[in-house]
Amino acid sequence: MTGYAIMAALIMRLKLFLTPHICIFVGIIFSSKLALPFFSPTLKFRSLLPYVSNNQLRYALIVGLIAGMSYHGVSNVKHEFSRLGEYSDYAQEQLMLWIIENTNPHDAFLGSMPTMANVKLSTGRPIINHPHYEHVKARTRTKLVYSLFSRRPLTEVYSIISQMNATYAIVEEGWCWAKRRKGCNVYEAFDTEEPQYITRPPTCPLLIRNPHPFKIVFKNAVYVILKI
């Protein structure tokens, strides 16, 4: 536990490793039976407080912990409650509503992993690539799905995608047109994997302009749904 505490003090993100230990420690303190060994008379610090009972010492420790947590905790909670705002993504709402109203419950979708997570959560439709599972088959499947954003010919991409038992593919226009720093586009990542296509234009814009053999069935300012 000491090691995790040092890690949490040095690197804020690593406090997640300390949190389970703190929960266990606090639970032990609140239990009179489990906490008894920590207040044994044989321990050196108990000789400094000979007239304080174990229960009194335990309650004092509990109060001290709560006070320490409240020192910054109360102000942090007040700050969080004072924040007012509203999250709105109208384009994504349109996408989800169209899927719910115009597709069958067993129609499967594929696309970028962030969008697939929302499709699964909001519509309950099957998805081909899930961002919350990590294994070799999932990585391989996702790489094949991301051929939508490579430089491969459309017919070749269609051949790959059509073998994945998906009904629809979702493409974000931002992934096609966004200007990113050199080396940060998805198709540039494919250039190292597929140098034979490096002279070809990116596939993604073609999916929006002239997607044959795919078929556009939905389009708004951000998303395009292609029927496979």
Pairing state of beta strands 223-227 and 215-219?
antiparallel
Count CA atoms within 13 Å of residue 157 on its CB side.
Answer: 25
DSSP the chain: -HHHHHHHHH-GGGHHHHHHHHHHHHHHHH-HHHHGGGG-TTSGGGGG-TTS-HHHHHHHHHHHHHHHHHHHHHHHHHHHHH-------HHHHHHHHHHHHHS-TT--EEE-HHHHHHHHHHH---BSS-TT--SHHHHHHHHHHGGGGSSS-HHHHHHHHGGGT-SEEEEEHHHHH----TT-SHHHHHHHH-GGGTTSPPHHHHHHH--TTSEEEEE-SSEEEEE-
Mean pLDDT by 10 residues, the chain (228 residues): 76 78 75 61 55 68 79 84 80 96 96 92 92 78 91 93 94 77 76 89 88 93 94
What is the structure's pLDDT at 189? Answer: 83
pLDDT at 103: 96
Report the candidate in 126, 82, 78 with the shortest Cα–Cα distance to residue 106: 126
Output the pLDDT for position 47.
59
| pLDDT value for 12 | 72
The predicted structure's pLDDT at residue 48: 56
Q: Report pLDDT for 155.
A: 92
